[in-house]
Amino acid sequence: QRSHTEERPFRCPEFGKGFQYSSALITHRRIHTGERPYECGECGVRFQTSSSLTVHQRIHTGERPYECGECGKRFRRSSHLIIHQRIHTGERPYESSESGKRFQTSSELRLHQQTHTGEKLYECGECGKRCQSSSSLLLHQLIHTEERPFRCPECGKGFK
């Protein structure tokens, strides 16, 4: 009955978030307590939910139960299949409120939004410089090493 209403009588005492079922509240509370009662018998990694453990175990078994009907590529998670299918459909459901540019995933949108806010989440441990992406930080960090990963195909000289 509750699934057809907006009723959420089970409240988190930390933030007041409501849940339809007490079991969902119990699972949610593990975020605050840090409890991870489900352990992988293969590698010992622990999880807050049994479903997270089930998905994790597919790493060890190699199981990929979700298949793209378009190209046959297989995935461990249904959510990864859904995102993949956007390649075929061209769907871009996430829109930047600043520029109107559209993205296939929420993480792509978040990264794009940093161009509007100027937010730089990645900090170099060596000099403190901040970058907007992990790839930019990795490139920056080359200045602190002698590594020259880019080679000229003509003469073989290395560049940063």
Write the CB contacts of 19 (distance below 8 Å, at least 6 apart in sequence): 8, 10, 11, 12, 25, 28
User: What does the CA dihedral 109, 118, 141, 138 come to, rounded to 10 degrees?
Assistant: 0
Angle at 160 between CA 118 and CA 115, to 5 degrees: 10
Domain enclosing residue 60, as ranges: 38-89
Q: Is residue 71 part of a domain?
A: yes
Do 109 and 131 share a structural domain?
Answer: yes
Query: In angstroms, how far is the first alpha carbon of the chain from the final one?
Result: 62
- Banded pLDDT at 148 (limits 50, 70, 90): confident
Q: Could you tell me if 19 and 8 are in contact, meaning their C-beta atoms sit under 8 angstroms apart?
A: yes
Do 85 and 108 share a structural domain?
Answer: no
Do 44 and 24 share a structural domain?
Answer: no
38-39/18-19 β-pairing: unpaired
Tokens of 124: 């170099």
pLDDT in tens, 68-108: 999 999 999 999 999 999 999 999 999 999 999 999 999 99
Residue 8 sits in a domain of what CATH number? 3.30.160
Q: Identify the pLDDT of residue 71.
A: 98
Do 128 and 106 share a structural domain?
Answer: yes
Residue 119 sits in a domain of what CATH number? 3.30.160.60
User: What does the CA dihedral 61, 65, 71, 73 come to, rounded to 10 degrees?
Assistant: -30
Q: Is residue 149 part of a domain?
A: no
Do 135 and 99 share a structural domain?
Answer: yes
Can you say whether the dihedral through the CA atoms of 30, 31, 34, 40 is positive or negative? Answer: positive
pLDDT higher than threshold 80 for residue 1 = no
Q: Identify the pLDDT of residue 101.
A: 97
Q: Is residue 148 part of a domain?
A: no
Do 133 and 103 share a structural domain?
Answer: yes
Q: Is residue 155 part of a domain?
A: no
Do 110 and 83 share a structural domain?
Answer: no
Write the CB contacts of 59 (distance below 8 Å, at least 6 apart in sequence): 76
The number of folded domains in the chain is 3
d(CA 59, CA 115): 35
